[in-house]
Amino acid sequence: MDKLEKKRKMLSKKMDELPIQALQVGLNASFNTSKDLVELINNGLKSIKILSNLEQLSQINIEDAILVDLRENAYGKDLDEIPFAKHANENLCIISKDIILDDYQIYLSRGYQIDAIMFDISYIDKENLKNMIFLMEYMGITPIFGIKSEDDIQKIDWQIASIVSVYKSKLLSSISDNVKVIKDTDSDIDDAKADLVVY
């Protein structure tokens, strides 16, 4: 089973457990202001640690930001670690790395107080991407576009893009100078050319 199909199955199960209507009601009752990742980068944030095991979130001391890898996460109880960590440190910025297939995931991310979502846009068409970005911005979530090709670059509305994750150094020349660049763990770009490095 490929990663997209696996993610679809996990998402479908979560949607059965927690319908979007119930999720939306919960969001209205517990809305918190998101942390501004661009502002953190402008204020000197240079690197962030990636966690794939959310139970580690309560065991490490993080001052500014952390990236949690949700690509293979089934949206289980371990996500409760995120609001607990945010409660312990109200200045903490939580970035998720996920495979976004449905608007539901954006609502779910906001419910768990995720501030920014880094996601591969290669399998999302331009119209769906536009709708997802609108919803993320409405929810106060910073979208981080995962760019792997020139086709991905063509999908992005550069008037609203503020942060991208670039996987191939040859694509850097196509990125606007006013957009922050994240170097992810599987990117071939030089650390010095990135505004933020994931380790």
Lowest-confidence segment of 10-14, 25-29, 50-54 by average pLDDT: 25-29
Rounded to the nearest integer, the mean pLDDT of the chain is 90
Dig out the tokens for 99 from the structure. 């495979």
Distance of CA 52 to the CA centre of its chain: 13
CATH superfamily of 3-148: Aldolase class I (3.20.20.70)
Label residue 105 by pLDDT band (50, 70, 90): very high
Q: What is the DSSP pairing of strand 93-98 with strand 180-183?
A: unpaired
Query: pTM for the whole thing?
Result: 0.90
Label residue 96 by pLDDT band (50, 70, 90): very high
More confident residue, 22 or 84: 84
pLDDT at residue 31 in the model: 56
pLDDT at residue 30 in the model: 57
The mean per-residue pLDDT over the stretch 121-148 comes to 95
Write the pLDDT tens digit of every residue in 24-47. 766 655 556 788 999 999 999 999
Q: Is 90 within 8 Å of 33 (Cβ atoms)?
A: no
Q: Is the pLDDT of residue 152 over 90?
A: yes
Q: Which amino acid is at 150?
A: E
CB atoms within 10 A of CB 101: 18
Q: Give, for 95, the enclosing helix (H) or strand (E).
A: strand 93-98
Radius of gyration of the chain (CA): 16
Instruction: Break the chain into its structural domains and give their ranges.
Output: 3-148
pLDDT above 70 as % of the chain: 95
